[in-house]
């Protein structure tokens, strides 16, 4: 598959349009496919030669994915509307569903617990019930979160395998745990074909500024442009298991192809990086002098010191992160420099 | 405390109205206090000399508790209405909240997953947020469920301690797990004073006929009255850890008084009884010949063979079930005979 990586990290893909029967490929549906991880997953599936890729999008604003897929494969709908979800699945009959749609907020979720639970329960139940009631023969990859695990112990380094105790702290984490539980209950009860991924932190181009690396990179670009004088940061001592989103979506594809039904798989690098270290890389690469101020407002009510993925289970399927995370961070900075 | 047990299992309580300062006792609130376990908890607290007991009730229908508490201590409100919950807590300022309110349906929950999650998330979030936002200095006993545990392995006897893996199967079980997670998250994040009980099966007078022992007893009384010719049953091979509701509510009081904040406690007998054995006791005691038919419709989509509580943790606080479960079952039969 011809694929080149530009210096700025933009993947150029030559789709193999000369193949005769591409549209006979079974449809692949990516919910939330115009979002951060979704858009990288579309790129990765195109690079594998898939073309019958459909995405859902909450809004009909143009997105990066509008450049990758024809309009007929971008479905604007509200996935919290059960009837709309059923209609989509009945019409599309996808063979694979990457269920990425989510409300990606952690920090402020303490003030919106009910809304997050309402949205995430609907996102999950609507899909599972549509599959069940309309006999959709689809394999589903459900996306949970590393935050499902009990992150409260004060051990400096928590290495978590898939059997680590469940104990979500924030309402966002509770809502993701709820989604995983609903998915696994549907396997046990209705024998749906679902694999659950528990991704740890992942970063890349197109991630929103509510996430730490994107937030830092966006601020540094503002300083480079003279629009801001200093970078405001939260808890620099926190350590996270960061994975490049490109490695993450390769993991999603691997789980869709090889994951065992009803099983949960961690997706993370098993390497830990402090937020301070990532900030240092960005400050070094900045084209302006960066002064840093710590803003206690950016600390969450309960900030977790360090969480690390035990990734043996996915590695046994053949997955390994391949991107150097410092290069990823610098690629993200370059991506922000290209934004208006 | 004067208390006598009648042959029919009705507890007669003489409230110590001669004490001078009863209303200076800190208020105790029992949500769902007119329900099955709630009404037994009211009896048990009255028997301990408590009088400042308030209950919430979803409807203003007269209930058993109407005979135990004055109307001013029975609050009719919809606990899924956050504003109503806040107003109640602000007015009442309870020192203890037994949070028993729940939608007690398991069997049919597969068709009502979203409704159960919506109701149970509101029941939990409204209470936790009202406590937090209005600085209510209350200790809370939150009621989870044994069904939070992963009951899918096919081992004939699953003995579950509080660290047994979480893995709810039915949407009802998922919703109870959600409630426990929300409660524990509120302890971790907002330092609320909450203890979580995980009750296993419990039985007694006033339990609704949707539960197996009440269902059998109600059917036998109908046969005794010539209103029905045979008893229809589900999976008789299933085994459950049954506890008398009177022992269960003593456990709730013990956890309120001695449970450790943020900890989960199983409440169960650690003894297992087959549904067949319980049916045998009832058939023997029946005043008519009982013929049994097995109705496959009464099997749940995934019926769990046997679940047993490891109750060491609550026993270490001094709790022990004291009621003989055969006597309890026969008391339940007598209670149904008294109903019109």
Residue B91 forms contact with A (CB below 8 Å): no
Contact A185 B163 (CB under 8 A): no
B159 within some domain? yes
Q: What is the mean pLDDT of residues A17-28?
A: 65
CA distances from residue A324 to A45, A243, A244, A329, B156 in whole angstroms, order as listed: 22, 9, 8, 9, 49
What is the DSSP secondary structure assignment for residue B35, as one 8-state letter? S
Range of the domain at B156: 26-204+243-268
Q: Report yes or no on B75 lying in a domain.
A: yes
A310 falls within a domain: no
- pLDDT score recorded for residue B325: 97
| Phi and psi angles of residue B70, each rounded to the nearest 5 degrees, phi first | -70, 155
pLDDT at B4: 39
In the numeric block, which tokens belong to residue B305? 């063979």
Q: What is the mean pLDDT of residues A229-252?
A: 93
Q: Each residue of B52-103: pLDDT tens digit?
A: 999 999 988 889 999 999 999 999 999 999 999 999 999 999 999 999 999 8
A4 pLDDT exceeds 50? no
Query: Distance (Å, rounded) from C-alpha A39 to C-alpha A25?
Result: 20
* Distance, CA of A36 to CA of A244 (rounded, Å): 12
Decide which of A107 and B1 is more confident.
Answer: A107
Q: What is the CATH number of the domain that holds B47?
A: 3.40.50.720
Tell me the CA end-to-end span of chain A in Å, nearest whole number.
Answer: 32
Q: Which pair of structure tokens corresponds to residue B62?
A: 């007269």
As for how many domains chain A has, the answer is 1
Give the per-residue pLDDT at B7.
Answer: 40
Separation of alpha carbons A183 and A125, rounded Å: 8
Q: What is this model's ipTM? A: 0.85
Helix (H, G, I), strand (E, B) or coil at B50: coil
- pLDDT score for A11: 45
pLDDT at position A154 is: 60
Residue A235 confidence (pLDDT): 85
Instruction: Give the mean pLDDT of B34-51.
Output: 97
- Cβ neighbours, 10 Å, residue B269: 23
Nearest to B125 among A82, A113, A168 (CB): A113
Q: Is residue B338 part of a domain?
A: no
What pLDDT was estimated at residue A107? 52
Torsion angle of the four alpha carbons A295, A299, A301, A304, in this order, in degrees rounded to the nearest 10: -160
The confidence score (pLDDT) of residue B105 equals 58
Kindly identify which residue of chain A lies nearest to residue B186, measuring between CA atoms.
A169
Mean pLDDT of B152-163: 77
Strand partners, B298: none
**Whole-angstrom Cα distance, residue B288 to residue B229?**
10
Q: What is the pLDDT of residue B307?
A: 84
Q: In angstroms, rounded to a whole number, what is the distance separating the alpha carbons of residues A220 and B88?
A: 50
Contact A185 B165 (CB under 8 A): no
Residue A215 has pLDDT above 50, yes or no: yes
pLDDT at B155: 59
Confidence band of B153 (pLDDT split at 50, 70, 90)? low
Question: Quick one: pLDDT at residue B8?
Answer: 41
A23: pLDDT strictly greater than 50? yes
Q: Residue A282 falls within a domain, yes or no?
A: no
B170 touches chain A (CB under 8 A): yes
In this prediction, residue A304 carries a pLDDT of 62
Rg (CA), chain A: 20
Contacts of A67 (CB under 8 A, 6+ apart): none
The reply to whether residue A113 touches residue B129, judged by beta carbons under 8 angstroms, is yes
Looking at residue A111, its pLDDT comes to 65
Q: Which of the residues A106, A111, A114 would you substitute to probe the B interface, choosing the one with the greatest number of B C-beta atoms within 10 Å?
A: A114
Confirm whether B64 is domain-assigned.
Answer: yes
Q: Name the residue of chain B whose CA is nearest to A163's CA.
A: B165
Considering CB atoms only, which of B110, B129, B181 is closest to A189? B110
- Assess A177–B contact: CB distance below 8 Å, yes or no: yes
Tokens matching residue B174: 């998922």
Domain assignment present for residue A17? The answer is: no
Q: Are B120 and B179 in contact (CB under 8 A)?
A: yes
Query: Which of the four pLDDT bands, split at 50, 70 and 90, describes residue B3?
Result: very low
Closest-CA residue of B relative to A183 is B169
A304 touching B (Cβ < 8 Å): no
Which residues, listed in sequence order, are joined to residue B97 by a DSSP beta bridge?
Answer: B29, B140
pLDDT, residue B152, reads: 77
pLDDT at residue A152, as a whole number: 77
Residue B304 touches partner A, C-beta closer than 8 Å: no
Alpha carbon separation from A226 to A210, A220, A330, B166 (Å, rounded): 21, 10, 20, 52
Is residue B315 a part of any domain in this protein? no
**Are the CB atoms for B202 and B162 separated by under 8 Å?**
no
Average pLDDT of chain B? Answer: 89
Task: Please list every residue in chain A whose beta carbon sits closer than 8 Å to the beta carbon of residue B110.
Answer: 189-190
Cβ–Cβ below 8 Å for B169 and A185: yes
Cα–Cα distances in angstroms (integers) from residue A234 to residues A147, A298, A306, in the given order = 19, 5, 15
Q: Which residues pair with B96 in a beta bridge?
A: B28, B139
Q: Which residue of A has its CA nearest to B176?
A: A178
In this predicted structure, what is the pLDDT of residue A300? Answer: 61
């Amino acid at each position: 598959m011809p694929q080149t990586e530009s210096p700025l990290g933009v993947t150029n893909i030559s789709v193999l349009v000369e193949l005769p029967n591409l549209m006979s490929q079974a449809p692949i549906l990516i919910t939330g496919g115009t979002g951060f991880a979704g858009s990288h997953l579309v790129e990765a599936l195109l690079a594998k030669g898939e073309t019958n890729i459909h995405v859902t999008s909450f809004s009909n604003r143009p997105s990066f994915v509008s450049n990758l897929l024809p309009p007929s494969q971008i479905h604007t709908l509200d996935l919290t509307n059960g009837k709309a979800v059923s209609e989509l699945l009945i019409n599309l009959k996808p063979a694979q569903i990457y269920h990425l749609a989510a409300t990606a907020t952690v920090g402020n979720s303490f003030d919106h617990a009910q809304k997050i639970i309402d949205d995430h329960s609907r996102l999950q139940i609507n899909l599972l019930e549509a599959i069940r009631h309309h006999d959709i023969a689809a394999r589903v990859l459900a996306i949970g979160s590393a935050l499902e695990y009990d992150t409260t112990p004060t051990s400096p380094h928590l290495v978590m395998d898939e059997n680590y105790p469940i104990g979500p702290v924030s309402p966002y984490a509770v809502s993701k745990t709820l989604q995983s539980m609903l998915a696994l209950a549907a396997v046990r009860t209705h024998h749906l074909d679902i694999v659950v991924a528990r991704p740890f932190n992942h970063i890349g181009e197109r991630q929103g500024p509510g996430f730490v690396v994107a937030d830092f990179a966006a601020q540094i670009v503002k300083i480079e442009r003279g629009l801001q004088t200093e970078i405001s940061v939260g808890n620099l001592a926190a350590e996270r298991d960061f994975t490049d989103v490109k490695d993450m979506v390769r993991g999603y594809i691997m789980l869709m192809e090889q994951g065992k039904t009803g099983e949960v798989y961690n997706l993370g690098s098993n390497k830990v990086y402090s937020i301070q270290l990532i900030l240092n890389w960005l400050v070094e690469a900045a084209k302006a002098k960066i002064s840093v101020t710590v803003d206690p407002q950016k600390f969450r009510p309960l900030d977790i010191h360090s969480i690390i993925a035990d990734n043996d289970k996915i590695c046994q399927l053949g997955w390994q992160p391949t991107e150097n995370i410092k290069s990823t961070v610098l690629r993200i900075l370059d991506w922000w420099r290209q934004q208006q």
